[in-house]
Amino acid sequence: MSNTPYFAQGIDIDHLKPPEGCRPGIDCQRWVIRGARVLDPASQLDAVTDVFIDKAGIVAVGEAPSDFACDNIMDARGLWLIPGLIDSWARLREPGQEHKATIASEARAATAAGITSVCIPPDTDPVIDTPAVVRLIKRRAQLAGGARILSIGALTQDLDGKRLAEMADLQEAGCVAVSNILKPMANLAVMRRAMEYANTFDILVIVQPQDRALAHGGCAHEGAVASRLGLPGIPVAAETAAMAQILALVEETGARVHFANLSTARAAQMLEHARFAGLPVSGGVSAHQLFLSEMDTDAFDANCHVIPPLRSLRDRDALLDAVARGVIEVIHSDHQPHEGDAKAAPFPDAAPGISALETLLPLTLRLVENGTLNLQHALHRVTSGPAQLLRLKAGGVAPGLRADLCLYDPQAAWTLDEQQMLSRGKNTPFAGWDFSGKITHTWVAGRLVYGQNIEPK
């Protein structure tokens, strides 16, 4: 776990202090959670025990500190206590596209899904390329309450691919990484300078590898299904060619690079070879890529229009294997909520993306049900894995860490109804899927922000 101080993580210390005159059981940040099965993937703890929270942090697991006194006791027998999820790649649409969703609506949906930290890419309006925009997002998130919103800064000014952003200032303002997302760089020389700059300040660079010329406006995996449906395809080479260029620059610059939204077997193989060679690289995959494939586009369901596209069954199985073996250590949502009209157009013209906050944990835990991962490894992919990647003092259940925690009922059975989703976006291909297990309570920095029957016991 990182020892990075709160101020270096973009966390407002004043916001974490309990307010004066807090309401017992709701605003107060002193809790005893009794009798839960505590699962901490960072330490591999799996035990029925008690957890003690004081202000924003976990102060003890097992036995209470000698001076600890608290009236807020949560009886959690039969439930699991897990670290709050960290979603390392999700769009909330605000600022700039509030007709699709807002920070308030999506932060609420996140906490109901057990997500306590959400990292948003820089393609907002205005772009996250100055400290002022970072502060704006932070203020709106604090007013909204709920999940913590962390910014990913722009690699270049206005994402134009030409002029480098002031990455050091963005890091100081609280950005956890920088990225140019899918916006192309002017040339590799600019990308090299950007990676050298980032490496100087040890800033993580997040790359979504896709060569724009090879993708050429496609909307589906280039293969037999796309050909039969008459859909413009995106070849595997669009991902792997872009990835190969970045790997060559990593060798030159030593910059830390995380590849987000990997979708192909060849990309997973390239990542594994690079990690074996000692390069400071890592990879992430969106949860839907582990369950869907090009076959799901056969019905022209616009909810299956995503970028990168749903690939072949072979690619999906290779991604599952890479996640199982730890080659890919992070699973994220790639949350992209849309209004109804955005998905009403024909498949090629529909806006790409899935409303995915509320399916991140259910899909990840389904990997346990189908034998891909054990429980601790599955939780690691969405908690301690992204925490280590982003150097956050979270993602675990241990003294000294932030009290970002969730209670989970493993016996709950439910069916996803898109109209019951808390996100403004109802665009999901998982409507009608049956899931087992559900979040019952969520704490962010020691404050209960979501829960059923939250009155103190």
Q: What is residue 452's predicted lDDT score, i.e. its pLDDT? A: 59
What 3 state SS string does the chain have?
Answer: CCCCCHHHHCCCHHHHCCCCCCCCCCCCCEEEEEEEEEEECCCCEEEEEEEEEECCEEEEECCCCCCCCCCCEEECCCCEEEECEEECCECCCCCCCCCCCCHHHHHHHHHHCCEEEEEECCCCCCCCCCHHHHHHHHHHHHHHCCCEEEEEEECEHHHCCCCECCHHHHHHHCCCEEECCCCCCCCHHHHHHHHHHHHHCCCCEEECCCCHHHHCCCCEECCHHHHHHCCCEECCHHHHHHHHHHHHHHHHHCCCEEECCCCCHHHHHHHHHHHHCCCCEEEEEEHHHHCCCHHHHCCCCHHHCCCCCCCCHHHHHHHHHHHHCCCCCEEECCECCCCHHHHCCCHHHCCCCECCHHHHHHHHHHHHHCCCCCHHHHHHHHCHHHHHHHCCCCCCCCCCCECCEEEEEEEEEEECCHHHCCCCCCCCCCCCCEEEEEEEEEEECCEEEEECCCCCC
Which residues have CB under 8 Å from 51's CB, separation 6+? 32, 33, 36, 38, 58, 60, 61, 81, 397, 405
Active site residue 334: yes
Q: From CA 175, how far away is CA 168, in angstroms rounded?
A: 9
Q: What is residue 453's predicted lDDT score, i.e. its pLDDT? A: 46
Q: Give per-residue pLDDT as tens, 57-98.
A: 999 999 998 888 887 899 999 999 999 999 999 999 999 999
Q: From CA 134, how far away is CA 389, in angstroms rounded?
A: 20
Task: Please identify which of the residues 334, 341, 404, 434 carries the catalytic annotation.
Answer: 334
How far is CA 307 from each of CA 166, 212, 249, 297, rounded to the nearest angstrom? 28, 12, 24, 13
Q: From CA 112, how far away is CA 104, in angstroms rounded?
A: 13
Q: Give per-residue pLDDT as tens, 176-198.
A: 999 999 999 999 999 999 999 99
Say if CB 134 and CB 151 are below 8 A apart: yes
- Considering only CA atoms, which of 267, 247, 153, 241 is closest in space to residue 192? 247
Q: Give per-residue pLDDT as tens, 244-290.
A: 999 999 999 999 999 999 999 999 999 999 999 999 999 999 999 99
Q: What is residue 66's predicted lDDT score, i.e. its pLDDT? A: 87
All domains of the chain in start order, with CATH = 6-82+403-451 (2.30.40.10), 85-390 (3.20.20.140)
**What confidence category does residue 28 fall into, taking pLDDT thresholds of 50, 70 and 90?**
low
Q: Give per-residue pLDDT as tens, 97-153.
A: 999 999 999 999 999 999 999 999 999 999 999 999 999 999 999 999 899 999 999
Q: What is residue 18's predicted lDDT score, i.e. its pLDDT? A: 37
Q: Give per-residue pLDDT as tens, 348-364.
A: 999 999 999 999 999 99
Q: What is residue 71's predicted lDDT score, i.e. its pLDDT? A: 73
User: Whole-model pTM above 0.85?
Assistant: yes
How far is CA 351 from each of CA 96, 302, 324, 346, 348, rounded to the nearest angstrom? 16, 8, 31, 10, 8
**What confidence category does residue 298 fall into, taking pLDDT thresholds of 50, 70 and 90?**
confident
